[in-house]
Structure 1
């Protein structure tokens, strides 16, 4: 077994995380009488985890550089209020309600505002030498208060009809056919990336997996992707919605209604796209190499000619932009901009990154691990909600899991050394 795992080159921490996720899912499914592992709950679980997963990808880079960002939830809340005001007050005066470009402008404004806030905090950290803990702690308070001042505490609703699709729901799902197209394309892309990586390693004389091991990895990835398609397509739209859709098309609704699948939710596809882009950025670009070099040894990175200050500003600017994108997802999902939006999200984002294998000592972290960590955190919360666990106890469990994750990371680093 040990030789087989070595040949497959699988990360033991990733395997352990997948095993822990399986235990969580099976345990909650038993405790809830089979209500957890249903297509409906798994679909909702993926939508709920999307916003945290997007921010967790940026948090990996922040922690890799030996920093922390405690303000991500507050940035999300502040940016969400800006997004709500823009599309309910400013843009309607310009071109009316439900304009086809409203959602585009709202998303761009959210990303721009979040990126500007993140870059501003990065400047304070990199050029003024203020600790990231202090800057982001101050940001947690400042931007949460700013969210209140934008509308003096009023909730802004409703959102643009096209913008709402970014939050999921039946209007934010792509259906069965497009989901199969996305799944097949993702599987082919994953296979192409694996084969290209194998060819590149062989070209430079690096060791490669045995052919049987490469085939096993390809088969596992394909099975996971196509299995996800099967799950999301097994969750049908509610009958009243199907009836309204058929009536709008002038079709008869007297007989049996057809089963129309949700398919993938748009926020899930956004999270997966962000994960792929940040993975490419961190592993295939000069910027990514600089980030991990700074995390490994900041002094050596600076002496080697890396402009560590601007890299730091870029990392926090990217983190802020991802908060703005997550604000779009969260606001669209609620169909409202509220002052409480994003509360305690910083806890879940940091926990997702650490559970996913990002070391607080810096220099180590993976994007896919953080996204899987976000799914673990959301699974815990969703399962406790199904069991009727109150919010204080949920926070206690999340806190315990976070401390345990840091302890496991410490033991793992000792073992590696």
Structure 2
């Protein structure tokens, strides 16, 4: 018997020899998700449509401007953070209708804490007030989410009913907790977490973030190729690897340039003793960086851990997952607890951005969060969903809302459009799943 030397892993077929559609060959070689391309195309269409409409009807296109796109990124942050948790909930064939009301009650709890309770104890403006407030906000959200998960997993109440009840209960609790009064202003350091005046990292900080992100893209491409070689999986052509790297670098550099193109307003320049014509960039807003950090951590959780594998196993077939030894009830409770923690984090950003706590905070956010997850490719039938898709879905939803505000649509029309988009997204998801079976 002779020993056969191991050969190099095969390269993924490029199909150039067989001809065919060049776009299909490109997508096959680069392994780019077609649903991702569809969402990006829809996003660009929405942006271009609103900008063109504003230019024709109002005489100026205000949508595709650094100011509006910077504000859009900030507005997307809280919805995007919650959408990453909603992916896990929907993947496991559940739903959470209470996230908007949870933001209201959590925001009110944080407002009372940092305005009425902590200052008399620690002193007005104490450095630890914002830290204690953030910790308490995340804990409150986690406790509420855990309660929902316990009722669903261990008491057998459907998630629709539990969270529908939570939608009404927590909104009522937000009102009762302070008699419907608005609590403001919040701690000055806490307010920075909302991306308001001073709540950004500036041009140099943004370039540092961009450099780290480019290094991360390069590391992912190299590490991914090494893993394919190690496990003898087919390799992407080198031109495809280079193309993916160029696309990633271009997207990151473009985002940094866009964030740095929006200057600080004159009022803040005067506070900084700078001339009115000085150009000082905002850079990335703090809530945007928080959302990006959450997206990275949630992606790792979903794709690189046992917890993530269990989530998809439960969503694919709950009975088979239970027979395989997965404690589905404990997993369900942990998923809703995580959803609550992310909602608490979103409440921090939302109340900090508003610089106050109101019982109406987060109204209808549950609709936008669910729509963001579904538009991002999370199937209501369970078992399918991505974190990056949910973030893009949140950006699509917020773009629709922001664009309709800019062109003067009233709130009623905005709700009609959002409802239609949600139904259309589910319909397209059904068509996609039927074709891929």
TM-score by length of 2: 0.93
Which string of whole-angstrom CA distances, capped at 9 and with x for unpartnered residues, describes residues 51-89 of structure 1?
Answer: 000000000000000000000000111000001011011
> Is 2:108 the counterpart of 1:71?
no
Is the contact between residue 60 and residue 366 of structure 1 (CA under 8 Å) also seen in structure 2? yes
**Count of aligned residue pairs for this structure pair:** 410
Cα RMSD (Å) of the superposition? 0.9
Alignment-derived partner of residue 416 in structure 1: 436
Check whether the contact 1:243–1:257 (CA below 8 A) recurs between aligned residues: no
1:339 to 359, 365, 370: 359
**Aligned equivalent of 1:28:** 50
CA displacement at 1:93 relative to structure 2: 1.7
Superposed displacement of residue 375, structure 1? 0.3
- In the alignment, which of 268, 275, 280 is matched to residue 241 of structure 1? 268
Whether 1:115 and 2:137 are equivalent positions in the alignment is no
Q: CA deviation at 1:240?
A: 2.3
> Which residue of the other structure, out of 28, 31, 48, is the alignment partner of 2:75?
48
Residue number in structure 2 paired with 1:103: 130
Q: Alpha-carbon deviations, 1:176-228, whole Å to 9, x = none?
A: 00000011101111221232122112211122211110111111111111100
Q: Tell me if 1:300 matches 2:323.
A: no
Structure 1: gaps spanning 5 or more residues: none
Match of 1:320 in 2: 340
Determine the C-alpha separation between the residues in 2 that align with 1:99 and 1:211: 55
Q: 1:263-302, aligned counterparts within 5 Å?
A: 263-302=283-322
Q: What residue is the counterpart of 2:113 in the other structure? A: 86
**Aligned match of 2:400 in 367, 377, 380?**
380
How far off its partner does 1:4 sit?
1.2
| Alignment gaps of 5+ in structure 2 | 1-22, 56-60
Q: Residues 300-337 of structure 1: CA distance to partner in whole angstroms, max 9, x if unpaired?
A: 11101111111110100000000000000000000000
Alpha-carbon shift at residue 90 of structure 1 (Å): 1.3
Q: 1:19 aligns with which of 41, 45, 52?
A: 41
> Structure 2: how far apart are the matches of 1:342 and 1:243?
34
Give the ranges of 4+ consecutive aligned residues of structure 1 lying more than 4 Å apart after TM superposition: none
Does the aligned pair in 2 maintain the 1:122–1:316 contact within 8 Å? yes
- Alignment partners' CA distance in 1, 2:86 and 2:229: 33
Instruction: Describe the SS at the equivalent of 1:162.
Output: helix
* Residue in structure 2 matched with residue 2 of structure 1 by the alignment: 24
Moved more, 395-404 or 168-177: 168-177
Q: Which has the larger radius of gyration?
A: 2
- Tell me if structure 2 keeps the 8 A contact 1:170–1:262: no
Match of 2:172 in 1: 145
**Paired residue for 2:381, among 361, 380, 396?**
361
Question: What's the CA shift for 1:382?
Answer: 0.6
TM-score under structure 1 length normalisation: 0.97
Q: Does 1:190 align with 2:217?
A: yes
The 8 Å contact of residues 295 and 363 in structure 1, kept in 2 or not, is answered as yes
